[in-house]
């Protein structure tokens, strides 16, 4: 059972219940007193929503009322709704489970099948939960978020449903055999909850137990053990964190012979304490608080370092993966085996256990290769062998394994011009076989992928991928879309997008992905290079890529657009305000922008470890340098900009985009556009049609303004 950051998918730009603020105890600043747009922070206030409706109407009339928009949206929707897409699966016992959305089932079907059926071109699926039917019966608009089933039988599950696509969810116990929710079973109202099975009659639960039970970042501060048939208020306390902690969670490892309970206390986004829960209390594991991952699998303990660690007379670099027998570690031994050690070109993307082996996914200059490691029966001599990798300029990724019974693994292989394939293999039984293949949604034969490197302002070598027509002439006249993220150690890897192919490449555009610092393309060092006071390094990298595209004759500033979302939306805000001369149009989606108040908005307090604390004057001095909201000035040559967000986004929240657009318009900038979807949470789309509408709006805006 992994102790990797279980909350990572939610913590990567947060989790909250919405509203105006979750850090109201933090003191107001002088900047607040002079901010005339604070009223837009009232997310559901009548005045704010009236403003949103007016902005939406203006943007829709300008960019969504044309036949071109309708064509683009429908072409994207065909991709998202296509029955020929790969139905990715997760194994639970004897069945393969899948969640599926299409035109007939916009909110989706949770279903399962057998391996024998899945091999067929048209598998027969057993539908377990029809979310659209549930919504019709209950008069709701539930969005399926996640499910956790109790192994090894996998007949009881905890299903999380969001009322609007945000991260706050209702949790209900579901019986697979009867295909119904369990009357009188485990159930929680809508809140930011973390749940995990212990056994058929007990679960771990972290939720909103009442005033003071959540952290300042609005995550569960308290985790309890809840027994079936008892009221939630009678649940037994397991651990109570501090208000300033980020989140607390617990889980039980049910592996026969290795049953263990763990408590994870995230003190900030990159630091956590790991505890083994025993009948006589909690035992803290003596691993680095900043470990990127701590993983317990049967007799083994793995530690992935984020920064250098000296222990047991040995020094290990950041980004390394170390292994030791779990019981030996508890006994005080520290003779780790080094399973992976990074260099200037490589980083560990992920690792996954099968029953008897460990698969490493290694990035080599942002391209994938896989290795299979076999633990020793004694000593520390691990065996390793390569596993078939991906084609050039592609990504291969482990999407599922069976760590309990067999050495089954599932791989997806994809590239910018290579539709994804799904392969299944069993280690020791020959090469993996392709089970499913996605169709091509555009003619890739017309294009080519190339990787380039450019020196950033400080001389750092920054890679980027370019997808362009084979017959491209370097005349600087091509509409080019440059995409970036650059934060939270998230790597941007080669991947196929039918939407980008249809909405951008087929129209003659060039698409570019920048692997800037702040991401995880080269492991922790690449991320740490743009943390806090060094944040501007990420923006210098992105600007360097933009300048290189112009230097190479791919495009020119008036034809160069930029796009990014979430932390990438903050990147876009800084491109707008710090480098306006480099771009012809910018799309900033679900963005952070007001870095003075970000810790008071939605889940912002959870990202202090990434950006710094603006309430500390010393830190605000460097944060202000990358706060787009505070860099805005009248009379500047800002390019056209579109801000896209969602009312139900309870991570970043919609208010930062609202305020940025309103402030720019008040300064007299006319080519400033805003659109806010009601549903969809941080993804800005609750179903495929909403997602298609959002993507089409962005592409139509960019294509129109980059003429």
Average pLDDT over residues 638-651: 92
Average pLDDT over residues 391-411: 90
Closest CA to 370 of 397, 410, 335: 397
Task: Report the relative pairing of strands 641-646 and 585-589 from DSSP bridges.
Answer: parallel
**Is 160 a catalytic site residue?**
no
Q: Which of 566, 602, 627, 691 is flagged as catalytic?
A: 566
pLDDT digits (tens, 9 = 90+) for 194-233: 999 999 999 999 999 999 999 998 899 999 999 999 999 9
Higher local confidence (pLDDT), 650 or 192: 192
% of the chain exceeding 70 in pLDDT = 94
Q: Which of 682, 691, 693, 695 is flagged as catalytic?
A: 682
Question: Would you state the pLDDT for residue 311?
Answer: 97
HSE-CB at 682 with a 13 A cutoff on CA atoms is 25
Question: Would you state the pLDDT for residue 683?
Answer: 72
Question: Would you state the pLDDT for residue 464?
Answer: 98
Question: Would you state the pLDDT for residue 32?
Answer: 60
Average pLDDT over residues 157-174: 94
pLDDT band, very low/low/confident/very high, at 167 (cuts 50, 70, 90): confident
Q: Is the pLDDT of residue 60 over 80?
A: yes
CA distance 411 to 352: 11
pLDDT digits (tens, 9 = 90+) for 236-265: 999 999 999 999 999 999 999 999 999 999
Find tokens 């989706």 and name the residue: 108
- Cβ of 427: how many Cβ atoms within 10 Å? 20
pLDDT digits (tens, 9 = 90+) for 372-398: 999 998 766 899 999 876 677 789 999
Q: Enumerate domains of the chain plus CATH numbers.
A: 36-77+447-705 (3.40.50.1820)
Question: Residue 433: exposed, middle, or buried by beta-carbon count in 10 A (0-12, 13-18, 19+)?
Answer: exposed
**Is 566 a catalytic site residue?**
yes
- Tell me the pTM: 0.92
3-state secondary structure of 27: coil
Q: Is the pLDDT of residue 6 over 50?
A: no
Q: Is the pLDDT of residue 295 over 50?
A: yes
Q: Is the pLDDT of residue 328 over 50?
A: yes
When the pLDDT of each residue in the chain is averaged and rounded to a whole number, the result is 93
Closest CA to 692 of 135, 102, 100, 59: 102
Q: SS3 for 309-355, per residue?
A: EEECCEEECCCCEEEEEHHHHHCCCCCCEEEECCCCCEEEEEEEECC
């Amino acid at each position: 059972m992994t102790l990797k950051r279980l909350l990572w998918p939610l913590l990567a730009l947060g989790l909250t219940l919405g509203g105006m603020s979750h850090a109201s105890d933090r003191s107001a600043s002088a900047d607040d007193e002079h901010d005339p747009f604070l009223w837009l922070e009232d997310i559901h206030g009548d005045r704010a929503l009236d403003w949103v409706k007016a902005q939406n109407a203006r943007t829709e009339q300008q960019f969504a009322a044309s036949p071109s928009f309708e064509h683009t949206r429908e072409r994207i929707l065909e991709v998202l709704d296509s029955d020929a897409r790969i139905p990715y699966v997760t194994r639970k016992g004897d069945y393969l489970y899948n969640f599926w959305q299409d035109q007939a089932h916009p909110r989706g079907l949770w279903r399962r099948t057998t391996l024998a059926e899945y091999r067929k071109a048209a598998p027969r699926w057993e539908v377990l939960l029809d979310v659209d039917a549930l919504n019709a019966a209950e008069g709701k608009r539930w969005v399926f978020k996640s499910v956790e089933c109790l192994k090894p039988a996998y007949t009881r599950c905890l299903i999380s449903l969001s009322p609007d696509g945000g991260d706050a969810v209702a949790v209900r116990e579901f019986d697979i055999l009867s295909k119904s929710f369990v009357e009188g079973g485990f159930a929680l109202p809508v809140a930011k909850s973390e749940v995990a099975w212990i056994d058929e009659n007990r679960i771990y639960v972290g939720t909103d137990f009442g005033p003071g039970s959540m952290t300042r970042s609005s995550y569960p501060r308290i985790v309890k053990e809840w027994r079936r048939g008892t009221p939630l208020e009678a649940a037994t306390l397991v651990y109570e964190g501090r208000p300033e902690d980020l989140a607390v969670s617990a889980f039980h490892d049910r592996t026969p012979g290795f049953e263990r309970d763990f408590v994870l206390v995230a003190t900030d986004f990159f630091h956590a304490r790991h505890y083994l829960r025993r009948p006589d209390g909690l035992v803290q594991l003596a691993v680095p608080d900043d470990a990127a991952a701590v993983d317990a699998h049967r007799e083994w303990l793995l530690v992935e370092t984020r920064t250098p660690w000296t222990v047991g007379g040995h020094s290990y670099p950041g980004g390394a993966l170390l292994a030791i027998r779990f019981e030996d570690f508890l006994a005080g031994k520290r003779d780790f085996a080094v399973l992976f050690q990074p260099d200037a070109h490589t980083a560990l993307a992920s690792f996954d256990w099968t029953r008897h082996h460990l698969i490493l996914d290694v990035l080599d200059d942002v391209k994938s290769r896989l290795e299979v490691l076999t633990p020793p029966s004694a000593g520390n001599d691990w065996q390793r062998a390569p596993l078939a990798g991906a084609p050039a300029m592609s990504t291969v990724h482990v999407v599922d394994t069976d760590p309990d019974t067999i050495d089954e693994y599932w791989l997806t292989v994809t590239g910018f011009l290579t539709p994804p394939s799904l392969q299944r293999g069993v280690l020791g039984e020959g090469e993996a076989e392709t089970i499913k293949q996605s169709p091509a949604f555009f003619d890739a034969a017309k294009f080519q992928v190339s990787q380039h490197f450019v020196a950033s302002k400080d001389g750092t070598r920054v890679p980027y991928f370019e997808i362009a027509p084979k017959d491209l002439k370097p005349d600087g006249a091509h509409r080019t879309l440059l995409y970036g993220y650059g934060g939270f150690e998230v790597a941007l890897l080669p991947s196929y997008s039918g939407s980008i192919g249809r909405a951008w490449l087929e129209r003659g555009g060039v698409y570019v992905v920048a692997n800037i610092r702040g991401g995880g393309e080269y492991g922790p060092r690449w991320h740490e290079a743009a943390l806090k006071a060094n944040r501007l390094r990420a923006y210098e990298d992105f600007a360097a890529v933009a300048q290189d595209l112009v230097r190479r004759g791919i495009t020119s500033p008036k034809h160069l657009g930029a796009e990014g979302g979430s932390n990438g939306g903050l990147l876009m805000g800084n491109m707008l305000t710090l480098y306006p001369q480099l771009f012809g149009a910018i799309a900033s989606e679900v963005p952070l922008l007001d870095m003075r108040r970000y810790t008071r908005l939605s889940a912002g307090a959870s990202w202090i470890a990434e950006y710094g604390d603006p309430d500390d004057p010393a830190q605000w001095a460097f944060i202000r340098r990358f706060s787009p909201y505070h860099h805005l000035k009248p009379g500047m040559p800002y390019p056209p900009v579109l801000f896209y967000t969602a009312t139900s986004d309870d991570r970043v929240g919609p208010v930062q985009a609202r305020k940025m657009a309103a402030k720019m318009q008040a300064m007299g900038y006319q080519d400033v556009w805003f659109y806010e979807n009601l549903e969809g949470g941080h993804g800005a789309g609750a179903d495929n049609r909403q997602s298609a509408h959002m993507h089409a709006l962005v592409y139509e805006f960019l294509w129109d303004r980059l003429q």
